[in-house]
Amino acid sequence: MALIVQKFGGTSVGSVERIRSVARRVAKWRAAGHDLVVVPSAMAGETNRLIALAHELQPHPDARELDVVAATGEQVSVGLLAMALIELGVQARSYAGWQVKVLTDSSHGKARIVAIDGERLRNDLAEGRVVVVAGYQGVDAKGNVTTLGRGGSDTSAVALAAALEADECQIFTDVDGVYTADPRIVPEARRLHTVTFEEMLEMASAGSKVLQIRSVEFAGKYRVPTRVLSSLTDPAMAVDEEAQSGTLITFEEDPHMAMEKAVVSGVAAQRDEAKITVPGVPDKPGIAYAILGPIADANIDVDMIVQNVSHDGMTDLSFTVHRNDYPRAMKILKGQVQPHIKCRDVTGDERIAKVSIVGLGMRSHAGTAAKMFRTLAEEGINIQMISTSEIKISVVIEEKYAELAVRVLHKVFELDQE
Amino acid sequence: MALIVQKFGGTSVGSVERIRSVARRVAKWRAAGHDLVVVPSAMAGETNRLIALAHELQPHPDARELDVVAATGEQVSVGLLAMALIELGVQARSYAGWQVKVLTDSSHGKARIVAIDGERLRNDLAEGRVVVVAGYQGVDAKGNVTTLGRGGSDTSAVALAAALEADECQIFTDVDGVYTADPRIVPEARRLHTVTFEEMLEMASAGSKVLQIRSVEFAGKYRVPTRVLSSLTDPAMAVDEEAQSGTLITFEEDPHMAMEKAVVSGVAAQRDEAKITVPGVPDKPGIAYAILGPIADANIDVDMIVQNVSHDGMTDLSFTVHRNDYPRAMKILKGQVQPHIKCRDVTGDERIAKVSIVGLGMRSHAGTAAKMFRTLAEEGINIQMISTSEIKISVVIEEKYAELAVRVLHKVFELDQE
């Protein structure tokens, strides 16, 4: 029988009734003979409530103390879920991050997991218990409580699966898997039975918000077979059926998987970005840093960065930021950067969308990019920026064309066909 | 300058505004040069909310998991209070029970403190920090979270004061000290500037609910000077004035204290008890156990127990229980005990009150009991049961006379006079 780590999000444990439903699902897997480690998030809304309290006391809460407060949400969930399991007659025991222990660095609010001591959990599993472990949190070398940041429970689950060498990490969520495109935009979108972790990584960064990108990275690094599946199905669904549901993130090395892969696996659109261009800058060493350094110093994350060849020693640098950061980024560029590098202007546009196609097959198939660009051109959609990785092509287009672009690309790459 | 442990109850930290007020009070003491360890309870209502959630999932929640959940209330408080202090420019750091660490036995829900490692706190104090420690909770030798039971934060505060050899433990509460009687019953009741811990112990068990009895025991065992004072005063009140406010629990050995003591220090009434009598039982070894054993097995606490000399080999056994436990106790006695010991009847009365006078001076002053009984007789109050300890005399009377009894006893023992 297998060792399985199951992660349930905040909505799945958002009420006493839902916690009972999660317990029934876990109990069913236990009854089928599997060893189980369960990682619930905080009850929906709880982490926000705690963080709001902190902000009432301090506009910029002390990072160490904020973690002390925020970590309690998951501690409540693990205790309640363990009770629900015990009430069903399942032996269960809960642990906070410091009890396991989940050792992290000391970056409060965005800590990284350094090591997990699985000894205690292995003993409990050997004695027949389901262990319920608080996600999102850990403890640093000095014994301070840390949290991993938003979506950290996904990362906790994958990290636990890696440390315990689990057979599978199951991420239960409110979607039933990874799709070739957003089904709300493309009704013909298909659920993928498998996706490689590299594709998943590109999809996560391309706006398909099924899994936190850090947890996907973790899954890839430690080769943890990770399955995304629905927590909205009947908890009594047969184990054999549930085990095949959702989407499994796999590794390319499996030749069977690679052979049956299509060129393109999915299309995604991201609409919460803004484009910024610094035109006519001298094409000399240090210029990109002079522009993006102050942006990074202001803790603004930059997504796409594009710089083309220069003409007459001058070039243009363009990049995208989250739309919320756009006003701040423009202020920094006009106030600090423009006077310093003496560029002639800084321009920007909030009404853009980034559309990406992702697929492992692109590596060996020439012409994918050309096909994408031709398809968009035929629809009269102008491409403003292009950026590519080995398995992804992203373009920036006018926002109003985002849905149309996704639909036509989904069709031209035959993603609606099995 | 002194090392002071300050404890604040749930009402005192019941909102963001109140937490700010506590922080201002602590900051004031810190500014006066004192080293401070602060123990806040969970925000008012929070522990009840968590326990209610647990009961929804399990009618009888698993004791270990209930502690995991219930302990989070104080963890939130310490983080928020530390933030409020930092916002005021006071260096502060919070600790949960396991971080200190507060080592307890493994009796979940009613754990006893075994040891406190003050090393970490001493280092913080030496570096000029205020330390904020979660009350009510600890960790057992195996690393499981434990709680001390209701009112446990008082005990945590006194235990921390003992471990750190603090100069004083200040219990901030919604009354401004210990009174000679309940001021709502006796308007002339005076606040005691000092009270011995033995008197305090008897007062606590006699219904004067200022401090949890366990914390008083702890204060006595480790000779921790403990002061009960008001959290409702202006937080900006001068430190010198606040230091003299409230009531200080002292130790008899101080000859100055002993000399100025009155015979009787206080009068208290307890109205939530019920009286049970098992009349006509054989006066033979084992009979008290035969009656009270099944009561104890049902986890019903017994307060007074009275048995008088026997006549013709028969005697009566009477005792009091909490009024909530009365129906259950009667059922056990009539159903299990009466058939077994073959007594002729079991009688009971819920409409009683216990009135007690407490005073260290009683030890050496004959006639105190006589004076009490005469005073009650003069008011036509019949005494149903009598029980005495070295420094306390308790009587059970008809409930409707409780307030009258407290008033006349307060007067006859001249408690209204300094």
CB contact at 8 A, A84 and A23: yes
Distance, in Å, from the CA atom of B363 to the CA atom of B356, rounded to the nearest integer, reads 15
A61 close to B (CB below 8 A)? yes
A51 close to B (CB below 8 A)? no
Q: How many CB atoms lie within 10 A of CB A110?
A: 15
User: What's the average model confidence in pLDDT over A373-394?
Assistant: 87
pTM as predicted: 0.81
Structure confidence at residue A371 (pLDDT) = 87
Structure confidence at residue B185 (pLDDT) = 87
Distance, in Å, from the CA atom of A411 to the CA atom of B2, rounded to the nearest integer, reads 77
- The per-residue pLDDT for range A259-309, each reduced to its tens digit, is 445 678 889 898 889 999 998 888 777 888 888 888 888 878 888 888 877
Residue B47 in this model has a pLDDT that exceeds 60: yes
User: What's the average model confidence in pLDDT over B297-321?
Assistant: 83
User: What's the average model confidence in pLDDT over A351-368?
Assistant: 82
Q: Which of A49-63, A240-254, A325-339 has the lowest mean pLDDT?
A: A240-254
Residue B331 in this model has a pLDDT that exceeds 70: yes
B130 close to A (CB below 8 A)? no
Distance, in Å, from the CA atom of A146 to the CA atom of A129, rounded to the nearest integer, reads 27
**In whole angstroms, how far apart are CA A262 and each of A267, A361, B407?**
13, 6, 91
Structure confidence at residue B175 (pLDDT) = 84
Is pLDDT larger for residue A51 or for residue B366?
Answer: A51
- The per-residue pLDDT for range A330-348, each reduced to its tens digit, is 999 999 999 988 888 999 9
User: What's the average model confidence in pLDDT over B404-410?
Assistant: 94
Helices B46-57 & B72-87, crossing angle to 10 degrees?
150
Mutate to test the interface with A, among B24, B51, B83 (most CBs of A within 10 A): B83
Task: Tell me what percent of the residues of chain A surpass a pLDDT of 90.
Answer: 60
Contact criterion met (CB < 8 Å) for A79 and B66: yes
CB contact at 8 A, A294 and A328: no
Distance, in Å, from the CA atom of B17 to the CA atom of B13, rounded to the nearest integer, reads 8
Contact criterion met (CB < 8 Å) for A65 and B83: yes
Mutate to test the interface with B, among A13, A26, A51, A57 (most CBs of B within 10 A): A57
Q: B332 to chain A nearest CA, in Å?
A: 28
- Is the Cα dihedral B22, B26, B29, B31 positive or negative? negative
Give the domains, in start order, of chain A with CATH numbers. 3-175+210-258 (3.40.1160.10), 262-418 (3.30.2130.10)
Spell out a b/e string for B200-235, using b for 16 or more CB atoms within 10 Å of the CB, else e.
bbbbbbbbbebbbbbbbbbbbeeebbbbbbbbeeee
Contact criterion met (CB < 8 Å) for B68 and A56: no
Q: Which of B81-95, B174-188, B222-236 has the lowest mean pLDDT?
A: B174-188
Closest chain A residue to B17, measured at CA: A57
Report the Cα B235 to chain-centroid distance in Å. 25
Residue A4 in this model has a pLDDT that exceeds 90: yes
Q: What is the pLDDT confidence band of residue A47, given thresholds at 50, 70 and 90?
A: very high
Q: What is the ipTM of this complex?
A: 0.78
Residue B2 in this model has a pLDDT that exceeds 90: yes
User: Using alpha carbons only, how large is chain A's radius of gyration in Å?
Assistant: 23
Structure confidence at residue A259 (pLDDT) = 46
Cis peptide upstream of residue B101 (ω within 30 degrees of 0): yes
- The per-residue pLDDT for range A96-105, each reduced to its tens digit, is 999 999 999 9
Contact criterion met (CB < 8 Å) for B62 and A19: no
Q: B80 to chain A nearest CA, in Å?
A: 6
Mutate to test the interface with B, among A22, A72, A74, A93 (most CBs of B within 10 A): A72
Distance, in Å, from the CA atom of A189 to the CA atom of B117, rounded to the nearest integer, reads 60
The residue written with tokens 């403190």 in the block is B113
Residue A252 in this model has a pLDDT that exceeds 70: no
Residues of chain B positioned with their CB less than 8 A from the CB of A84: 57-58
Closest chain B residue to A81, measured at CA: B57
Structure confidence at residue A175 (pLDDT) = 84
B54 close to A (CB below 8 A)? yes
Token pair of A377 as six digits: 């051109």
Closest to A79 (Cβ–Cβ): which among B56, B68, B75? B68
Q: What is the pLDDT confidence band of residue A51, given thresholds at 50, 70 and 90?
A: very high
Q: What is the pLDDT confidence band of residue B259, given thresholds at 50, 70 and 90?
A: very low
Closest chain A residue to B49, measured at CA: A76
Burial of A228 by CB count in 10 Å (0-12 exposed, 13-18 middle, 19+ buried)?
A: buried
Token pair of A228 as six digits: 């995304």
Question: In degrees, to the nearest 5, what angle opens at C-alpha B32 toward C-alphas B30 and B35?
Answer: 40
Q: Residue A387 pairs with which residues in a beta bridge? A: A394
Q: What is the pLDDT confidence band of residue B3, given thresholds at 50, 70 and 90?
A: very high
Phi, psi (degrees; rounded to nearest 5) at A350? -90, -15
A82 close to B (CB below 8 A)? yes
Residue A140 in this model has a pLDDT that exceeds 70: yes
The DSSP secondary structure of A286-346, one letter per residue, reads: THHHHHHHHHHHTT--EEEEEE---BTTEEEEEEEEEGGGHHHHHHHIIIIIHHHH--S--
Residue B112 in this model has a pLDDT that exceeds 60: yes
Q: Which of B7-11, B99-103, B148-152, B223-227 has the lowest mean pLDDT?
A: B148-152
Distance, in Å, from the CA atom of B187 to the CA atom of B176, rounded to the nearest integer, reads 15
Closest to A65 (Cβ–Cβ): which among B54, B71, B79? B79
Distance, in Å, from the CA atom of A361 to the CA atom of A261, rounded to the nearest integer, reads 7
Nearest to B44 by CA among B231, B251, B281: B231
- Local structure of A227: helix, strand or coil: strand
Closest chain A residue to B99, measured at CA: A143
